[in-house]
Structure 1
Amino acid sequence: MGRLIYVTNVSVDGYIEDERGSFDFGPLDDAVFASTIELLRGVGTFLYGRRLYEAMSVWETDPTLAAQSDAFADFSAAWSAADKVVYSTTLTAVATRATRVERRFDPDAVRALKARATRDLMVGGADLAAQALGAGVVDECLLYVWPAFVGGGKPALPLGLRRDLELTDVDRFGNGVVRVRYRVPE
């Protein structure tokens, strides 16, 4: 059985993007990027909202990205190897292989997907993650906390939802990023 892990980059004040929709919290760090690649290698299926899927799909559709560095090639390979489920009411076609579109989030379908999975699943996108957290299907939250305040924007975690979490791991990186891993008790 696979675990469903919510993974996101977040500012210290709790946002995944600022009020303009930007999620540029600081310069890319090799160690942070390497930890992300290692995480992706263990994922068999990504669950994405449309906007995040479209942003991430370039890792499979734009070969010039992988050609920029060995790390970019590793990231591209790890991302491309996984299946993708995109939740969207407007997306009519996908640009990547092993990708399907679902019109609505169905917690029972996600539970069934987890039960069949031999590898972990990753949910990305704050809106979709809020639905998954609200439905009780997320097993773990993995937050890359960036040393920046953005003052507002899209919150990383759903407002109005309470969940007690169990801290299982903390890693510090040289650029000030802290990766915190929480188990979501049932």
Structure 2
Amino acid sequence: MGTLSYTATVSIDGYAADADGDFQWSAPSDEAFQFHVDRMAAVSTEVLGRNTYLLMRYWESAPEDGSWGAAEHEFSRRWCGIERVVVSSTLTRDDVASERVRLVPELGLAELEKIVAEARGEVEIFGPTTASAAIRAGMVQDFRFFVVPKAVGGGLRALPDAVDLDVRLVEHHIFGNGTAYLHYRQR
């Protein structure tokens, strides 16, 4: 049986994307990227929405120009090795390049519980919209935030409104660029 975690890169004012939907400000430094690579070793399943999947599809094959370094190749290897559940009512099987990707038109809490129960490790739910119902239902055990030292003033909140969480800090790290990694666990 797995555990459910939620990971997000957020501005200091709590947004995963700004008011225009942009999140380029959240690109990790080399140091933070290596941290993500290492962290992926514990993840067996990723649950993500359509937009996040389309963004992450980049990692399913190396660019032909040879621009990836060792960390990018290792992240890609780990990403391609995990099960991915994509929540989308508009994507079709033809839109998915990997056999390790399962499309579901919607994700109810019962289906998510089944995914976690069948997982051999950590199930990471990625993206505030996809994660909101699970967060509200108290299903998420671990919260991992990469807090970027930038305020964006509005946009897509990393946590849903009107959620009540009681968490404790279990791990933290400050990167050289000022980004703070904060790992919280439900009490």
Distance (whole Å) between structure 2 residues aligned to residue 44 and residue 63 of structure 1: 25
Q: Out of 162, 165, 182, which is 2:164 matched to?
A: 162
Give the aligned partner of residue 174 of structure 1: 176
Per the normalisation by structure 2, the TM-score is 0.92
CA distance in 1, matches of 2:27, 2:142: 26
Q: Is the 8 A contact 1:43 1:82 kept in 2?
A: yes
User: What does residue 113 of structure 2 align with?
Assistant: 111
Q: For 1:4-23, list aligned pairs within 5 A.
A: 4-23=4-23
> Structure 1 regions of 5+ residues with no counterpart?
none
Mapped partners of 1:158, 1:65: distance in 2: 40
How many positions carry a matched residue from both structures? 185
Between 20-29 and 113-122, report the one with greater CA deviation. 20-29
1:114-134 CA distances to partner (integer Å, 9 max, x unpaired)? Answer: 222221111001101111112
> 3-state SS of the aligned residue for 1:56?
helix
Residue 132 of structure 1 aligns to which amino acid in structure 2?
A
Question: Runs of 4 or more off by more than 3 Å in structure 1?
Answer: 61-67
Gaps of 5+ in 2: none
* Structure 1 residue 28: Cα displacement: 3.5
CA distance in 2, matches of 1:83, 1:170: 27
| Residue 31 in structure 1 maps to residue 25 in structure 2 | no
- In structure 1, give the amino acid aligned to 2:137: A
2:102 to 74, 85, 100: 100
The reply on whether 1:70 has 2:70 as its aligned counterpart is yes
2:2 aligned residue:
2
Superposed CA RMSD in Å reads 1.6
Q: Please list, as runs of the form range in 1=range in 2, the aligned pairs for 1:81-96 lying within 5 A after superposition.
A: 81-93=81-93, 94-96=96-98
